[in-house]
Structure 1
Amino acid sequence: MKYLLDTNAVIALLNRQPQFIEKLTQYKPADFVLSSIVLFELCFGAEKSQRKAENLAKLDKLPFEIVPFTAQDARIAGKIRAELALQGQPIGAYDVQIAAQAISRHLTLITHNIKEFKRVDSLNYEDWL
């Protein structure tokens, strides 16, 4: 099984959060991928941080494959966003895109943001934090 790491999961890794690291070390780096959307969020955070160069360097060292946002992902994201809007249960645009990437690739999303992602039908997710 492969996993897609959400932004808060990568931050837990970068901050060496013990519970998360313990779980992560049960797997190989090849078991995980990073969304290009997650990378964007992380780069944005690094760019506005006081330790910009250090934080960007940490991101460059992440050993995970980056998966691009594709046309298939866009179609799935559009469907998810429309369904949630009709239900009056919207989630953030970036979260919709990340969920779509996980669904289209049959990946389990590793996230601490259960409040948002539990609204997305057919999304497999786990909270390791």
Structure 2
Amino acid sequence: MTRAFMLDTDTVSHAMRGLSNVAGRLVQYGRARVCISSLTLAELRFGASRRKSKRIHALIDAFTSDVDVLAFDAAAAGRFGVVATALADAGNPIGLMDTLIAAHALDQNLTLVTQNTKHFGRVPGLNVVNWE
């Protein structure tokens, strides 16, 4: 079974707090079809470290034991350059981390699962869906 979905940081954060339908979707689609970017993991770790929360770090550990974490590689970096340029040229930047995550999803040909569909909808060619 091939991967189909990359979860954005907001989706993972809500899932870890039990505030979303992600658990049901993981069952529906199968964990093998869902992943997160290493950039999402970095954002989650930053948030947990800022809060000095061992509990949040443990939630992150538990969540990432159930889904693949894809490394941001040279191909994704190349895609980032194209995406960031397109957004800047259109006057529609979405922020560095979100552009990196969008580029990673595009490079892997994955649909990005996010609550920020309007925000990420500015990225040319990116498929986005909200599981809420």
- Report the Cα offset of residue 27 of structure 1: 2.2
Q: Retained in 1: the 8 A contact 2:9–2:44? A: yes
Distance 1:119 1:18, change over 3 A: closer
In the superposition, the TM-score normalised over structure 1's length comes to 0.92
Distance, in Å, in 1 between the alignment partners of 2:114 and 2:20 is 16
3-state SS in 2 of match to 1:57: helix
- Report the Cα offset of residue 128 of structure 1: 1.0
Distance, in Å, in 2 between the alignment partners of 1:33 and 1:18 is 16
Unaligned regions of 5+ residues in structure 2, if any?
none
Distance, in Å, in 2 between the alignment partners of 1:19 and 1:96 is 25
3-state SS in 1 of match to 2:76: helix
3-state SS in 1 of match to 2:57: helix
Distance 1:87 1:2, change over 3 A: same
1:56 matched residue in structure 2: 57
3-state SS in 1 of match to 2:103: helix
3-state SS in 2 of match to 1:26: helix
How many residues matched?
A: 128
Structural RMSD (CA): 1.4
- Report the Cα offset of residue 11 of structure 1: 1.1
In the superposition, the TM-score normalised over structure 2's length comes to 0.90
2:121 to 81, 100, 118: 118
